[in-house]
Amino acid sequence: MTAAAPAKGERIAKVMARAGLCSRREAERWIAEGRVAIDGKALTSPAVTVTAENAVTVDGKPLRPPERPRLFRFHKPHGVLTTASDPEGRRTIYDGMPAGLPRLMPVGRLDFTSEGLLLLTNDGAIKRHLELPATGWVRRYRVRVFGVPDAAAFARLAKGLVIDGVAYGPIEAHLDRARSESAYGRNTWITMALTEGKNREVRRVCEYLGFPVNRLIRVAYGPFQLGDLPAGRIEEVPTKVLRDQLGVTLAGAPLGAAARKAQRERGR
C-alpha cells in the first residue's frame, strides 16, 4: 500500500508528482526506462491508474507519502539558469539555496539574462496547475527597451501578434518612464502583462516591434509579488495564503472551477 495514491485511483505519473519525487514528464520518462513498478511488476506505460491498495516502487524503493504542498517565492538573479544542472558549469537557481528545502520545481521559467520572481513548488500538481494557459495566471514584467514605443506599438501588442508562424496573445503594456543616455541612446521602461508565457515571449514581441529588450524583471505571477525580496533570496508562501490563493487543500488537491475563477480574478 502507498499513502501517495487515493482510494479512487489516479494516474501513476500524477501520484509520483504529488509525492514530490519528480514532475509528470519526468515520471513518464522514468517509466519508459523501467524504473517504476506496481506490485512488483515493472511498468512499460504511464497509462496506468493506481490506488492505495497498490505497492508502488521507484528504483526498488517504496514511493513515499505525499509531502505537504508548499510554494516559494524566489528572486532569480541575472545570469542564472532555471535548470537543475548545466553541462557548461554555469550557475543555476539551485546553487546557494539554503539547506533543508524539499525538492523544488520551477513554475515556468526565466531565461539566463532575465530576473525577478520565480515560483518554486514541491508539488507536481500545483506546478502543472499554475503553468496551464487555461488557468489564466497573469504574469507582469518591468521591461527596459531600447527606443520609445508609441501608442501604435502598444495597440499592436493589445491585439496579439504572429511572429514566424507563432501566435502570441494580447499583451497589456504601458510606458513607465524614459531617460536619455548619451553613450547608449534612449532607454524606456515599460510594464507588460500577459497570460500565456511562451518561451522568450516578451523579448520576441518587443524585438519584432523594433524595441530590443536590454533588461527584463518579472514582478508578479498571478497574486504573488516580487516585492522587496532581495536577489537570490527565497521565501515560503504561508500555508494559509497558498490555500486561499490557489484553492488547494492541505492534501494538495486542487478545488473546482469556482476556486479557479476566483484565483484568476485575484491575479488580474
- Catalytic residue from among 39, 86, 95, 111: 111
Active site residue 150: no
Query: Distance (Å, rounded) from C-alpha 148 to C-alpha 235?
Result: 36
Task: Please identify which residue in the block is written with the cell numbers 523579448.
Answer: 203
| Chain segment 15-70, per-residue pLDDT in tens | 888 777 787 888 999 999 999 999 999 999 999 999 888 999 999 999 887 778 89
To the nearest 10°, the Cα dihedral for 153, 168, 136, 190?
Answer: -30
Residue range(s) occupied by CATH 3.30.70.580 in the chain: 71-135+223-267
* Cell of residue 232, nine digits: 537570490
pTM above 0.95, yes or no: no
Query: Distance (Å, rounded) from C-alpha 152 to C-alpha 239?
Result: 44
Report the topology of domain 139-221: Alpha-Beta Plaits (3.30.70)
Task: Please identify which residue in the block is written with the cell numbers 548619451.
Answer: 182
Report the topology of domain 71-135+223-267: Alpha-Beta Plaits (3.30.70)
CATH of 10-62 given 3.40.50.2300, 3.40.190.10, 3.30.70.120, 3.10.290.10? 3.10.290.10
Angle (CA) 11-267-155 rounded to 5° is 115
| Chain segment 189-222, per-residue pLDDT in tens | 999 999 887 889 999 999 999 999 999 999 999 9
- Report the pLDDT value the prediction gives residue 263, as an integer from 0 to 100: 44
94 φ/ψ angles, rounded to the nearest 5 degrees: -85, -15
Average pLDDT over residues 155-172: 94
Residue range(s) occupied by CATH 3.10.290.10 in the chain: 10-62
Residues 6+ apart with CB under 8 A from 13: 24, 27, 28, 31, 46
Task: Kindly report which listed range (76-85, 95-104, 123-132, 243-252) carries the lowest average pLDDT score.
Answer: 243-252
Q: Are 159 and 204 in contact (CB under 8 A)?
A: no
Q: How confident is the model at residue 238 (pLDDT cuts 50, 70, 90)?
A: very high
Task: Please determine, for residue 251, whether its predicted confidence score (pLDDT) is greater than 50.
Answer: no
| Chain segment 88-145, per-residue pLDDT in tens | 889 999 998 999 898 898 998 899 999 999 999 988 778 888 888 777 789 999 999 9
Query: Distance (Å, rounded) from C-alpha 134 to C-alpha 1?
Result: 34
Residue range(s) occupied by CATH 3.30.70.1560 in the chain: 139-221
